[in-house]
Amino acid sequence: MKKTPFVTKQQVEEIVKQFPTPFHLYDEAGIRANAQAVKDAFAWNPGFREYFAVKATPNPYLLKILKDYDMGCDCSSYTELMLAKSCGFDGEHIMFSSNDTPAEEFAYADKLGAIINLDDFTHIDFLEETIGHIPETISCRYNPGGVFTLSNGIMDNPGDSKYGMTKEQLFEAFKILKSKGAKYFGVHAFLASNTVTNEYYPQLAKELFELVVELKNETGCDIRFVNLSGGVGVAYKPDQTPNDISVIGAGVHKVYDEVLVPAGMGDVAIYTEMGRFMMAPYGCLVTKAIHEKHIYKEYIGVDACAANLMRPAIYGSYHHITVLGKEDAPCDHTYDVVGSLCENCDKFAIDRQLPKIDMGDYLVIHDTGAHGFSMGYNYNGRLRSAEILLESNGEAKLIRRAETPADYFATFDCFDDIKITE
């Protein structure tokens, strides 16, 4: 089976005249269509808002596209908060969900008026000591412990997760926060990662809706939103059926009407913090075959490496590969597709059936629009690649230049005795 890239060989051949490979390429038309689909899927909930997980793809040009759809930013660090502010997001459109949080980050989030989502019970006192008060609107992160299992067998293990509070801590936290002046409350939870099923959000929502009904009854707190966080995945493999956000939204609507409406909580807003679902399918890593090696296996060396996309190296993650111009050729060759790092895990594919690859062929590595560029690093002195937006009109726009050696050595500029030149 195969995936169809959103870019053609002819388009790539034009792009590389300006911007050499490797580069991450993003599909503006796809991002916009998906953003509208998410809004439509939850339009039944007047307060709905998607807070895009900035960590997935921290690029201001892409954030501003989502801003056109009244989406917000889910931030987890000082610099992500800075990025959101620079793109014009106000506090109402910024959710600050972090863990093991330094004091200066809480202070900056409060300065921006962001909604602060507390990860731990002890953070109540820490936050109050840091900013001198408890915000009127506050959220807490819930961890039910145990194993979270869906009917289709997909599971994750919240009990081993460092995130969130126990149920007992959550209830006590709400009581304390209310006594300290908090007026409006939210609950947040993330129980499973990259689920390729339409069941995850509805099942999570049911658990959280039942929880907030109990919370309201016991604490009297005014609960304004339930944040389903992320976890809605994408079909990395071509034989997987992608999630249908309209079905997911309808499933959440059903349990909302079953649980919250009868409890007199039909005004609770639904928030999401999707990163992968919002961006992954609408980005790809474009790279060129530059070497072939014939030893105990057949290797194709490309000009990208794990510094540009580390998910396969650290997770063994599957990313589909298309050889541009050979989409219809038989996949009758078995290759390891590798990069240049001095690590044997620097492989984009292992024993992958692909068409015959010739030197100079362009390869599209699919679904890198989230947790692709953002997880890059500089091991071996490798430099991070450019990011390019394929605009809706078909034009290619540079939205982040490639790093240079000067960028790599810039943090030595505080030393007069170190001058690195070519």
Helix (H) or strand (E) holding 72: strand 72-75
* CA–CA distance, 251 with 209 (Å, rounded to integer): 13
Is 180 within 8 Å of 128 (Cβ atoms)? yes
The DSSP code sequence of 358-409 is -TT-EEEE-S-TTTTGGG---GGG----EEEEE-TTS-EEEEEPPP-HHHHH
Q: Please write the tens of the pLDDT for every residue from 261-292.
A: 999 999 999 999 999 999 999 999 999 999 99
For the chain, how big is the Rg over CA atoms in Å? 23
Q: Which CATH class is domain 9-23+281-412?
A: mainly beta
User: Which of 330-343 are b and which e, b meaning 16 or more Cβ less than 10 Å from the residue's Cβ?
Assistant: eeeeebbbbbbbee
pLDDT given for residue 173 in this prediction: 97
Stretches in the chain below the pLDDT threshold 70: 146, 148-157, 159
What's the Cα-to-Cα distance from 226 to each of 14, 44, 47, 51, rounded to whole Å? 46, 15, 10, 12
Q: Which residues contact 217 (CB under 8 A, 6 or more apart)?
A: none
Is 165 within 8 Å of 117 (Cβ atoms)? no
pLDDT given for residue 160 in this prediction: 72
pLDDT given for residue 88 in this prediction: 97
Domain ranges of the chain: 9-23+281-412, 27-279
pLDDT given for residue 145 in this prediction: 79
Whole-model pTM?
Answer: 0.95
Q: Which residues contact 398 (CB under 8 A, 6 or more apart)?
A: 18, 19, 386, 387, 388, 389
Q: Which residues are catalytic?
A: 342
pLDDT given for residue 247 in this prediction: 98
What's the Cα-to-Cα distance from 46 to each of 39, 42, 187, 267, rounded to whole Å? 10, 8, 18, 8
* CA–CA distance, 314 with 312 (Å, rounded to integer): 6
Question: Which tokens sit at 128?
Answer: 């109050």
Phi, psi of 287, deg, nearest 5: -140, 165
pLDDT given for residue 231 in this prediction: 92
Closest CA to 164 of 144, 178, 150: 144
- Tracing tokens 């928030």 back to the chain, one arrives at 271
Q: Please write the tens of the pLDDT for every residue from 158-209.
A: 767 788 899 999 999 999 999 999 999 999 998 888 899 999 999 999 999 9
pLDDT given for residue 306 in this prediction: 96
The type of residue at 186 is G
DSSP state letter for 282: G
CB atoms within 10 A of CB 411: 8
Strand partners, 23: 286, 386
pLDDT given for residue 1 in this prediction: 79
The matching CATH number, chosen from 2.40.50.140, 3.40.50.2300, 3.20.20.10, 3.40.190.10, for 27-279 is: 3.20.20.10
